[in-house]
Chains A and B, each alone.
Chain A
Amino acid sequence: MSRQEAESTGALLRVVSDASRLQLLSLIHNSRDGEARVADLARALDLRSPTVSYHLRMLGEAGVVSRDPRGRDVWYSIVPQRLASIADLLR
Chain B
Amino acid sequence: MGESTLARQVAAMADPQRLQLLALLLTDPDGEADTSRLAGPGGDTDLVRVHLEAMAAVGLLGRDSRRSGPVRYRPTHDALVRFGSLAFGGAGPHEHVDRSEHGPILERITERLSVTFAGTFARETVARYVEESYSLLASRARVRQHLPALTSRFATDRLTALARAQGVSLHTTTDVLFVCVRNSGRSQIAACILRSLAGPGVRVRTAGSAPVARIDPAVVAVLIERGWEQIAEFPKPLTDDVVRASDYVVTMGCGDACPLVPGRCYLDWPVADPAGLEEAEIRVIVDEIEHRVRLLLTEIIP
Contact surface of A with B, Cβ cutoff 8 Å: 1-14, 16-19, 22-23, 26, 63, 81-82, 84-85, 88-91
What is the chain A residue whose CB lies nearest that of B20? A6
Residues facing A in B46-102 (CB within 8 A) are 81-93
| Interface-lining segment among B10-18, B198-206, B257-265, B275-283 | B10-18
Residue of A nearest to B3 (CB): A19
Interface bin, chain B: 20 to 34
Report the separation of the CA atoms of residues A90 and B90 in the bound assembly, to the nearest whole angstrom: 17
* In the complex, chain A residues whose CB is within 8 Å of the CB of B140: 1
Given contacts A85-B91, A88-B86, contact A17 B10 (CB under 8 A): yes
The binding surface of chain A is classed by DSSP as helix
Q: Is the CB of A6 within 8 A of B14?
A: no
> Does A9 contact B91, Cβ atoms closer than 8 Å?
yes
Say how far A27's CB is from chain B's closest CB, in angstroms.
11
Question: Are B85 and A85 interface neighbours, CB within 8 A?
Answer: yes
A12 to chain B, nearest CB (A): 4
Tell me the complex Cα distance, A9–B17, Å: 11
A22 touching B3 by the CB < 8 A rule? yes
Return the contact of B14 from the options A14, A19, A81 (Cβ within 8 A). A14
Asked if residues A16 and B87 are in contact (CB atoms below 8 Å), the reply is no
CB of B165 within 8 Å of the partner chain: yes
Task: Name, among B1, B83, B91, the residue most crowded by chain A CB atoms within 10 Å (CB to CB).
Answer: B91
Q: State the CA gap A58–B115 with chains docked (Å).
A: 44
Is residue B4 contacting chain A, with contact meaning CB distance below 8 A?
Answer: yes
26 contacts between A and B (CB under 8 A): A1-B87, A1-B89, A3-B16, A4-B90, A5-B90, A5-B91, A6-B16, A6-B20, A9-B86, A10-B18, A13-B14, A13-B19, A13-B86, A16-B10, A17-B11, A18-B7, A19-B4, A19-B7, A82-B91, A84-B85, A85-B85, A85-B89, A88-B85, A88-B86, A89-B82, A89-B86
